[in-house]
C-alpha cells in the first residue's frame, strides 16, 4: 500500500441542527484522483472545506500530507492548490497580476505566469483584466491559480460546472497532467461523466455519509447491470429489445435475436455512475 495524501477519520461537521458531514472516513493515496460525488447539499463542499482548512472539523480528524489540518492548516495550505466552484478572482487586475499575486503569497521565487496561462489555453491574455474574460476563461484562470505553487494535492470544487465543452476539456486535460506530475487530486463534482472519465476512485456522498467508495469499474461491476440493446424491424417500424449480459441464457437469447429478427442496430450498455448512485441512494445526482 502506498502513502496517503489525505486521511479522514470520522470527520464530522454540522450547522446548527443540520449534520452536513456525518462521521465520514476515507483515504486518498499519493497521485490518486478521487472523485467526490453527490447531489447539491450532500455535504461534499463542507468536507472539501474541512480538508482545505477553511472549516475546522467539529468531530473526527483529517490529516493532509501527514499534518492535522485543524492544527496545522497554514503549513498544509502552503503545499496544496485550491480551486473554488465560484469565481473569486480580482476582476480589476489582469490575469498575470492575479497569478503573480498568489505566487508571491505562496513564496514562489521563479514564477512563469505565461507558461501557466499557456497550459490552460489563455496564452496572450495575461495583460487583460479578468473582468473582460468569459466564464470559461475565468474558470481556466482559477485552475491556473491553484497551480502556482505546484501543489502536492489539488482540491477542485466543481471545476467544470456550467462550462462550455472546450473549457471543460481543457480543465480535464490539466487535471490529468497534474496527476502525471505526481499530484493527488481531490475532485468534488456532481458530473458523473467527468468523475467516470478521470477518477481513479469515486466516493458517493449522500446526506453527509459516504455510501459507496471504489473504482468506477468496480462500482459498475458490483451495482450495475450490463445489457445488449438492439433495434429490430417489426411491423413496418422499430422495436427495442434488451438482453441482460450476465445470465446463463444470454448466448441463446443473442442467437435467437439474430436468427429470428432483422437487427437494425445493436450495442452493449453499461450502467452509468448516476444509475448506480440512484440505485444506492434512491435519488439522482442533480437533486
Choice between 105 and 264, CB closer to other proteins: 105
Choice between 72 and 270, CB closer to other proteins: 72
* Chain centre distance of CA 5: 17
Choice between 99 and 271, CB closer to other proteins: 99
Q: How far apart are CA 65 and CA 261, in angstroms?
A: 59
Scanning residues 197 to 256, which ones bind other proteins (CB under 8 A)?
A: none
Q: Which of 25, 59, 104, 268 binds other proteins (CB under 8 A)?
A: 104
The residue whose grid cell reads 470520522 is: 10
Which of 142, 182, 145 is CA-nearest to residue 161? 142
Scanning residues 78 to 97, which ones bind other proteins (CB under 8 A)?
A: 78, 80, 82, 84, 86, 88-93, 97
Kind of pairing between the strands at 153-157 and 59-64: unpaired
| Position 53 contacts other proteins (CB under 8 A) | yes
Q: For residue 9, what are the β-bridge partners?
A: 61
Q: Which of 106, 200, 209, 257 binds other proteins (CB under 8 A)?
A: 106
Choice between 97 and 275, CB closer to other proteins: 97
| Position 260 contacts other proteins (CB under 8 A) | no
Judge whether 55 and 46 are in contact, CB under 8 Å. Answer: yes
Q: How far apart are CA 190 and CA 279, in angstroms?
A: 16
For residue 231, what are the CA distances in angstroms to 240, 245, 252, 265? 5, 16, 18, 5
| Position 65 contacts other proteins (CB under 8 A) | no
Residues engaged in binding other proteins (CB under 8 A): 52-54, 74-75, 77-78, 80, 82, 84, 86, 88-93, 97, 101-102, 104-107, 145
Amino acid at each position: 500500500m502506498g502513502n496517503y495524501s489525505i486521511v479522514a477519520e470520522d470527520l464530522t461537521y454540522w450547522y446548527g441542527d443540520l449534520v452536513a458531514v456525518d462521521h465520514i472516513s476515507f483515504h486518498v493515496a499519493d497521485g490518486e484522483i478521487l472523485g467526490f460525488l453527490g447531489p447539491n447539499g450532500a455535504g461534499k463542499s463542507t468536507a472539501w472545506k474541512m480538508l482545505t482548512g477553511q472549516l475546522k472539523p467539529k468531530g473526527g480528524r483529517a490529516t493532509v500530507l501527514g499534518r492535522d489540518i485543524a492544527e496545522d492548516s497554514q503549513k498544509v495550505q502552503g503545499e496544496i492548490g485550491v480551486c473554488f466552484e465560484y469565481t473569486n478572482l480580482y476582476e480589476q487586475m489582469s490575469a498575470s497580476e492575479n497569478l503573480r499575486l498568489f505566487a508571491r503569497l505562496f513564496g514562489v521565487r521563479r514564477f512563469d505566469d505565461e507558461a501557466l496561462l499557456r497550459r490552460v489555453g489563455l496564452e496572450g491574455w495575461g495583460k487583460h483584466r479578468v473582468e473582460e474574460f468569459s466564464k470559461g476563461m475565468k474558470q481556466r484562470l482559477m485552475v491556473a491559480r491553484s497551480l502556482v505553487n505546484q501543489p502536492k494535492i489539488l482540491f477542485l470544487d466543481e471545476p467544470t460546472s456550467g462550462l462550455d465543452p472546450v473549457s471543460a476539456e481543457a480543465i480535464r486535460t490539466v487535471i490529468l497532467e497534474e496527476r502525471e506530475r505526481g499530484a493527488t487530486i481531490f475532485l468534488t463534482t456532481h458530473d458523473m461523466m467527468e468523475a467516470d472519465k478521470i477518477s481513479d476512485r469515486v466516493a458517493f456522498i449522500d446526506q453527509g455519509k459516504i455510501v459507496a467508495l471504489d473504482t468506477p469499474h468496480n462500482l459498475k461491476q458490483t451495482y450495475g447491470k450490463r445489457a445488449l440493446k438492439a433495434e429490430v424491424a417489426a411491423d413496418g417500424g422499430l422495436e427495442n429489445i434488451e438482453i441482460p449480459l450476465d445470465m446463463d441464457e444470454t448466448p441463446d437469447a443473442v442467437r435467437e435475436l439474430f436468427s429470428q429478427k432483422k437487427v437494425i442496430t445493436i450495442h452493449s450498455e453499461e450502467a452509468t455512475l448516476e444509475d448506480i448512485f440512484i440505485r444506492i441512494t434512491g435519488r439522482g445526482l442533480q437533486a
